Structure 1
Amino acid sequence: MPELPADLVDALRSLARRGRPLVALDFDGTLAPLQDDPAASRMVPAARAALERLAALDGDDAPVLALVSGRSVVELHELSAMPPGSSLVGSHGAERAHVREHGLEHDAVRLDDEQRARLADLGAAAQALADGRDGVWVESKPTAVVVHTRRAGPQVAGPAEQEALRLGDRLGSTVLHGKDVVEISVLETSKGRAVAALRDEVGARGVLYAGDDVTDEHAFEVLGDDDVTVKVGPGETVARFRVDDAEAVAAALDVLADASA
């Protein structure tokens, strides 16, 4: 198991002592190594074991688990197999669901007529910009359209992303530019809004948030000095701490489980 910075270990133990922490985590690049094929993403075994330890704790002071991802909640549920009682936040905050013993319980997402028409226009325009560009593909979500470029070479990916950003400026309400991806939503969403709402909803006394992408910076920004924010991997960040990879995230979750037991 990777060795963590001493100040991160201290912060995790302090979070556990306060009780009822919200453990909110990105999935891809945080719990699961990034894959060229998004359908191949799976949580590293050490992270799964640590999350199951945290989920087994009970009482008013027990941690509350959540994943906060750009994926749809259905796909996130299938790939992550989170323990019952966990919350899932998908599409960068536009979708919410709860993992129950017998499946997934969705919070309804409702679009008005104008939003539905704009989403249809976005889908058609995004597909048009992807056509003929090798390695560029389009994903449709209940509230958004996503242009993926991970499989494309840099000479193809760069222009495709710039065109997608211009499309978002024209038709989107929220445009999120992450690693090899541009997501255009017809709703005002962000991981920051989602984490703040979830923290208030569950009455958390502190938050552990870990993520690897530029979209996770929105979550880091809304959290306070007493919260534990962890950037996974390289890149500029406002997070308090940094770790290398999913195995290190798993080690951090183990520290929190030990201190919470």
Structure 2
Amino acid sequence: MTAQAHVFDGIPGPLLEALRSLAKTAQLTVALDFDGVLAPLVDRPNDARSDPKSLQAISDLVLLSGTTVALVSGRSLESLRAVSGSPDGVLLIGSHGAEYDLGDGRAGVALTAEEKRALTELERAITGVASRHPEARVEGKPAGFALHTRGLTPDAAQAAQRDASRTIGATLPGVTHRAGKDVLEFSVVAATKADAMHRLRLHTTATAMLYAGDDVTDEDAFAALEPGDLSVKVGAGATVALHRLHGTAEVAQMLRVLASDRRNHLLGA
């Protein structure tokens, strides 16, 4: 993305124009990653909390007709519910698209017998890795496990992730690996955030979507968007997204602008 010459309240001018256009679509779906987008990154995942200004803007959006908001995270649904503080009406997608709570009474992930056996073996393998690298933290998920190395020295983090990749690759070569910011995830279900975008679009009958994400795993979601959609990369790093914001404070401002533009459009202002 090229440098933007005009920025208003932290929002580049081209993104402001794109938001105004997006606000006029018939069925709008706003999909957001959680960590690094709604909540600043922290060393301990359980300590993460949404920016209150973003939560207020989300609350405003879900009250508008023809408007859906969804959180799409690598976290499990249980973890996402616990830390996000999202208001009623917000859809939740966890474990990179392996878990769904779309408000239809069906939530979670269904594993086959083979996947359950693989999950048991995966737990045994990653527990062994954690015993050799006690500063790393293991997070259990319905379809896999994540090895968190945020807060470790670069050498210690690399050693833990290298050990995990080698050990699990040798034990369970069919397990899906995902590398994120200071985290290495392993899943017995090969779902991605691209899958989440496709399912979300169908579920909400979206005529246009916005997706904002900060990590390499969000690139799948960006790539799954269609013409007329809006992609926003939060933070540094290479991306296929068409727009970029600096951090969570700017995301809150973007959501506030979108909610205002959407409300004005629906009122005919």
Q: TM-score range by the shorter chain?
A: over 0.9
One-letter amino acid of the structure 2 residue matched with residue 256 of structure 1: L
TM-score (norm 1): 0.92
Q: Which residue of 2 aligns with 1:229?
A: 231
CA distance in 2, matches of 1:78, 1:241: 30
CA distance in 1, matches of 2:64, 2:192: 29
* 3-state SS of paired residue (2:69): strand
Residues 77 and 108 of structure 2 are in contact (CA less than 8 Å); yes or no, is this contact kept in structure 1? Answer: no
Matched, 1:85 2:92: no
Residues 125 and 168 of structure 2 are in contact (CA less than 8 Å); yes or no, is this contact kept in structure 1? Answer: no
Matched, 1:246 2:269: no
Q: Which residue of 2 aligns with 1:112?
A: 112
Q: Which residue of 2 aligns with 1:48?
A: 55
CA distance in 2, matches of 1:223, 1:167: 35
One-letter amino acid of the structure 2 residue matched with residue 80 of structure 1: S
CA distance in 2, matches of 1:212, 1:245: 9
CA distance in 2, matches of 1:34, 1:108: 25
Matched, 1:166 2:166: yes
Q: Which residue of 2 aligns with 1:157?
A: 157
One-letter amino acid of the structure 1 residue matched with residue 163 of structure 2: E
Change in Cα spacing, 1:168 to 1:6, as seen in structure 2 (3 Å) is farther
Deviation at 1:74, TM superposition (A): 1.2
Q: Which residue of 1 aligns with 2:266?
A: none
* 3-state SS of paired residue (1:120): helix
Equivalent residue runs for 1:60-139 within 5 Å: 62-98=66-102, 105-139=105-139
Deviation at 1:208, TM superposition (A): 0.5
Equivalent residue runs for 1:13-28 within 5 Å: 13-28=20-35
Change in Cα spacing, 1:108 to 1:35, as seen in structure 2 (3 Å) is closer
Q: Which residue of 2 aligns with 1:199?
A: 201
* 3-state SS of paired residue (1:229): strand
| Alignment gaps of 5+ in structure 1 | none
CA distance in 1, matches of 2:121, 2:161: 18
Q: What are the superposed Cα offsets for residues 210-233 of structure 1, whole Å, 9 maximum, x if unpaired? A: 011100011001112321100000
| Alignment gaps of 5+ in structure 2 | 1-7, 264-269
Seq. identity, %: 42
One-letter amino acid of the structure 2 residue matched with residue 137 of structure 1: R
Q: What are the superposed Cα offsets for residues 188-223 of structure 1, whole Å, 9 maximum, x if unpaired? A: 110111111111221001111001110001100111
Residues 85 and 98 of structure 1 are in contact (CA less than 8 Å); yes or no, is this contact kept in structure 2? Answer: no
1:29 to 36, 50, 71: 36
Change in Cα spacing, 1:79 to 1:108, as seen in structure 2 (3 Å) is closer
Aligned residues: 254
Q: Which residue of 1 aligns with 2:12?
A: 5
CA distance in 1, matches of 2:200, 2:169: 28
One-letter amino acid of the structure 2 residue matched with residue 163 of structure 1: D
One-letter amino acid of the structure 1 residue matched with residue 96 of structure 2: H
Stretch deviating more after TM superposition (158-167 or 68-77): 158-167
* 3-state SS of paired residue (2:228): coil
Deviation at 1:99, TM superposition (A): 5.7
Deviation at 1:164, TM superposition (A): 2.2
Change in Cα spacing, 1:235 to 1:147, as seen in structure 2 (3 Å) is same
CA distance in 2, matches of 1:199, 1:98: 12
Residues 53 and 252 of structure 2 are in contact (CA less than 8 Å); yes or no, is this contact kept in structure 1? Answer: yes
CA distance in 1, matches of 2:15, 2:260: 14
TM-score (norm 2): 0.90
Structure 1 vs Structure 2 CA RMSD: 1.6
CA distance in 2, matches of 1:107, 1:186: 18
Residues 135 and 150 of structure 1 are in contact (CA less than 8 Å); yes or no, is this contact kept in structure 2? Answer: no
Deviation at 1:168, TM superposition (A): 4.7
CA distance in 2, matches of 1:174, 1:39: 24
Q: What are the superposed Cα offsets for residues 21-42 of structure 1, whole Å, 9 maximum, x if unpaired? A: 1100000000000001111111
